[in-house]
Amino acid sequence: MTDLTLKNGPLRFSALTAGFDRNPEGEIVVCLHGFPDDAHSFDAQLPALAEAGYRVVAPYLRGYEPSSQPDDGDYSISAIARDVIAWVESFDVEAVHLIGHDWGAVATYAAGALAPERFSSLITIAVPHAARFDEAIKKVPRQMARSWYMVFFNIPGISEYAVQRNDWSLVKTLWKRWSPSYAMPDHKWHQLRSTFEADGVRGAMLAYYRQNATPALLLGIKKNEVAELTSVPVRTLAITGVEDGCIDTRMFDHCFDDGDFPAGIAVERVQGAGHFAHQERPDEVNQLILTWLSANSRN
């Protein structure tokens, strides 16, 4: 893997890449990580996609390094989606495929809604259509209990202390509860911790929740720009782990309306996987991804 720096205005985003030397004309696939994770979330996907002929880019999202922390503190999903659109516009291609996990999935739906012409297809992992989340959560009441951490992260001071306390033990607990069958390798944890402990990153990670997942937004009492982005006119594959302890897989039965996805929507459930399905079952998820990309190629 090699490194690349992406830009949006004054912000600079480091990115991992694969396949650019091997596949100079290959279609580009952009992979967006979520919380609590970073660009290495897709370490099992980059080589597989490069081997299949794609050029792959996995950036660190807004705030996950000091160079991408905005002066105005804007961590809204619409701002993150516009980062993605700016990156795509910097590539010398008409459109790219976009893959997103967790917050990266939320940004994927938003980017596809804001600039559908820039995307050949979308793939999301672990999070269903965010614009319909508040409606679906009323049909899956258990999801409110699973979303407790979102509410907790909205409490200033206490959550800053708690999330980093005792060597980020809360983050370790979330990984375990969200993916109960997965044992994170030690090297993965050391790498993540180095990301989280960089200047300003802890506050940025919490800002995602404070600006996009307040109790009022989760319950639909208050609306933001993402709630209005119901129409995603790009062919979309949504992947969910059956054992997901963060986002109940039944939410995928209630968040998708065919009218919201006029180009088509498909849902795939991965048995024996939780919230981080692409890391837990990489071979199975990679096959789903490659089959989808091949069917939606513009070449």
CA-closest candidate to residue 265, choices 241, 290, 230? 230
Token duo for residue 3: 């490194």
* Contact (CB, 8 A) for 36 and 175: yes
- pLDDT given at position 299: 65
How many CB atoms within 10 Å of residue 174?
Answer: 18
Q: What is the pTM for the complete model shown?
A: 0.96
* Contact (CB, 8 A) for 130 and 102: no
- pLDDT given at position 197: 97
What does the pLDDT profile of the chain (299 residues) look like in tens digits? 558 999 999 999 999 999 999 999 999 999 999 999 999 999 999 999 999 999 999 999 999 999 999 999 999 999 999 999 999 999 989 999 999 999 999 999 999 999 999 999 999 999 999 889 888 988 999 998 999 999 999 999 999 999 999 999 999 999 999 999 999 999 999 999 999 999 999 999 999 999 998 888 877 777 888 888 899 999 999 999 999 999 999 999 999 988 999 999 999 999 999 999 999 999 999 999 999 999 998 76
Q: Tokens 């919230």 sit at which residue?
A: 275
Distances, alpha carbon 46 to alpha carbons 16, 30, 68, 240, 274, in Å = 9, 10, 23, 20, 21
Query: One-letter amino acid identity for 64?
Result: Y
The separation between CA 75 and the C-alpha centre of its own chain, rounded to angstroms, equals: 14
Sheet holding 119-125, edge to edge: 2-8, 11-18, 55-59, 28-32, 96-101, 119-125, 236-241, 265-270
- pLDDT given at position 220: 74
